[in-house]
Amino acid sequence: MTRVGRVINLTVHGIGPAEREFDPGEDRTWVNIAQFEQVLDAVVGRDDVRITFDDGNSSDVRIALPRLLDRGLTAEFFVLAGEFGKPGRVTEDDVRSLLKAGMRVSSHGWAHRDWRQIDDKQAEEELTGAHQALSELTGQPVSRVAIPFGSYDRHVLRRLRQAGVTLAYTCDGGKATPGSWLQARTSLVCDLDANWIRRVLDDTASPALRARRLVARTVKRVRG
């Protein structure tokens, strides 16, 4: 059952064999190619589902891009402006390939820092610096972000608004309202299977889980 006017935002991190050392906990969000294809096949024809990619992993271009194109799907890629060409990350040329293929490229910041833990100077680099670099690279204004680690509080949200961010994605799970400034996403997980896909895409979350998500989101927006 699809509730009118709500969307499901999915987040992909990495796919297939890892090409760099994982950060702590990162293996939880890495999927294999078969799992990724299973998700894409379930998304075809669903205009209420959006696919996003975080972290600018090289699997975005090597594995994801051809499979998206095969299915006529598009996605938004949130890349790290300070990590191009590092082991396992996309290059500037990769970004150009994504754009040329009709994909959207937006910001995941500069160096994958936790935005709740940064000082003003780092915030300048993570937001203004990254937006400038990506706008130059893509030839288009870049003002949409995916918040690293989904880590935010009211100070982070204030900085995003001051930096002119037009849309901020979190990792809070559940459905989102299209057009709203802050939108929840659901991350693919390493043990996803057909049941997981059904649960997420049909959003058969129990009322108790929905209530927990709502409380968690409210706390994050106001905490300092």
Chain contacts with Zn ion (rule: CB under 5 A): 54-55, 148
Q: How far is the CB of 30 from Zn ion (least distance, A)?
A: 12
Smallest distance, Å, CB 190 to Zn ion? 15
* Cβ at position 224, least distance to Zn ion in Å: 23
Gap between the Cα atoms of 54 and 61, Å rounded: 12
Q: How far is the CB of 54 from Zn ion (least distance, A)?
A: 4
- Nearer to Zn ion among residue 55 and residue 83 (C-beta): 55
Q: Tell me whether residue 54 or residue 83 sits nearer to Zn ion (CB atom).
A: 54
Q: How far is the CB of 78 from Zn ion (least distance, A)?
A: 8
- Please report where in the chains the tokens 């082991």 appear, as a residue: 87
Contacts of 188 (CB under 8 A, 6+ apart): 10, 11, 12, 13, 29, 31, 35, 36, 39
Residue 77 or 203 having the CB closest to Zn ion: 77
Report, in Å, the least distance between residue 108 CB and Zn ion: 6
Contacts of 36 by beta carbon, 8 Å cutoff, 6+ apart: 12, 15, 16, 63, 64, 67, 188
- Of 29 and 35, nearer to Zn ion (C-beta) is 29
Q: Which is nearer to Zn ion, 146 or 203 (CB)?
A: 146
Q: Distance between terminal CA atoms of the chain?
A: 37
Query: Are 112 and 146 in contact, with CB atoms under 8 Å apart?
Result: no
- Cβ proximity to Zn ion, 54 vs 94, nearer residue: 54
